[in-house]
């Protein structure tokens, strides 16, 4: 696959890889902080500042990765062009993970609170699933473990339909409309985070032309 054939071991590329992993871990911090607020901690100026600061750091790191890759292309006589294209693509997926995680905190700002929800156990189950996915993806990418990446992608793919089903179920919700909206958006954000983590992992297992594969619904994938 991509890394098997094109990774050269250049220190610049290793630095990019380390920064991608750090970005993903920072995205987890945003996700975990936002979810903690949604499940009882509530909104606060301190949490808002911390999440925004971490998200801005991810955005800055995205720009740094792209600059590093451009320098790598510019100064080396032999360039791992497919690998550069891969990293140019997946760095955006990490940035989007941070954005969708921050959107979860927006639910808190709008008044959502799952602390005493009757379906809290189910809501928290999916919270844990997505949090674990982000951390596992960082570990798998750092180890460049293509076999584990494939397993993780397959496991995560099974959850996409579940999130769709949860969103659809909100159309028949018998409780307060605001609660239905909060849950529909929550599951939608979890789905998008999951898809972007899967896209990130395609950098280990997919050829360049098939990156962003998991942005499509299963029936529409080529």
Task: In whole angstroms, give the CA distance from residue 72 to residue 95.
Answer: 21
Question: Residue 126: its pLDDT value, please?
Answer: 98
Question: Residue 3: its pLDDT value, please?
Answer: 47
First to last CA, the chain: 18
> What b-and-e string marks burial along 40-51, b requiring 16 or more CB atoms within 10 Å of the CB?
eeebeeebbeeb
Question: Residue 127: its pLDDT value, please?
Answer: 98
For residue 191, the enclosing domain spans 2-220
Task: In whole angstroms, give the CA distance from residue 90 to residue 86.
Answer: 6
pLDDT (tens digit, 0 to 9) for every residue of the chain, 222 residues total? 444 434 444 577 889 999 999 999 999 999 999 999 999 988 899 999 999 999 999 999 999 999 989 887 776 656 567 888 889 999 999 999 999 999 999 999 999 999 999 999 999 999 999 999 999 999 999 999 999 999 999 999 999 999 999 999 999 999 999 999 999 999 999 999 999 999 999 888 866 666 655 665 665 555
Question: Residue 214: its pLDDT value, please?
Answer: 62
CB 92 within 8 A of CB 110: no
Task: In whole angstroms, give the CA distance from residue 49 to residue 63.
Answer: 21
Q: Report the predicted TM-score, pTM, of the whole model to 2 decimal places.
A: 0.89
Number of domains, the chain: 1
CB 31 within 8 A of CB 105: no
CATH label of the domain that carries residue 122? 1.20.58.220
């Amino acid at each position: 696959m991509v890394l098997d054939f094109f990774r050269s071991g250049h220190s610049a590329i290793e630095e990019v890889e380390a920064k991608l992993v750090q970005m993903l871990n920072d995205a987890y911090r945003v996700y975990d902080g936002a979810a903690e607020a949604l499940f009882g901690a509530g909104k606060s100026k301190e949490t808002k500042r911390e999440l925004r600061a971490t998200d801005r750091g991810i955005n800055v790191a995205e720009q740094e990765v792209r600059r590093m890759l451009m320098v790598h292309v510019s100064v080396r006589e032999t360039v791992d062009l497919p690998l550069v294209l891969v990293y140019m693509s997946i760095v955006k997926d990490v940035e989007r993970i941070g954005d969708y995680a921050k959107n979860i905190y927006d639910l808190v700002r709008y008044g959502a609170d799952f602390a005493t929800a009757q379906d809290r156990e189910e809501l928290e189950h999916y919270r844990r699933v997505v949090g674990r996915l982000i951390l596992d993806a960082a570990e798998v990418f750092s180890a460049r473990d293509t076999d584990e990446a494939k397993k993780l992608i397959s496991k995560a793919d099974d959850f996409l339909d579940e999130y769709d089903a949860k969103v659809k179920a909100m159309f028949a919700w018998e409780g307060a409309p605001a609660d239905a909206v909060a849950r529909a958006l929550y599951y939608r954000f979890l789905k998008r985070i999951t898809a972007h983590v899967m896209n990130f992992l395609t950098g280990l297992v997919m050829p360049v032309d098939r990156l962003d594969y998991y942005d499509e619904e299963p029936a529409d994938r080529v």
